Amino acid sequence: MQISLKGTNIQILESTREYVDRKLVRTAEKFFKDGGDSVALSIEVEKTTNHHKKGNIFRAEVNLKTGKVSLRAESTAETLNNAIDEVEYELSREIKKFKEKKRTEMLKGARRVKGK
Considering its fold, how many domains does the chain have in total? 1
User: Does residue 41 contact residue 74 with C-beta atoms inside 8 Å?
Assistant: no
pTM across the whole model: 0.81
Residue 45 pLDDT: 93
- Kindly report the CATH number assigned to the domain that includes residue 97: 3.30.160.100
Range of the domain at 54: 2-115
Q: Between these two residues, 78 and 53, which has the higher pLDDT value? A: 78
The maximal CA–CA distance of the chain, rounded, in angstroms, is: 63
Residue 50 pLDDT greater than 70, yes or no: no
Residue of 80, 70, 72, 73 lying closest to 45 (CA atoms): 80
| 3-class DSSP assignment, residue 116 | coil
Phi, psi dihedral angles at 65 (to 5 degrees): -120, 130
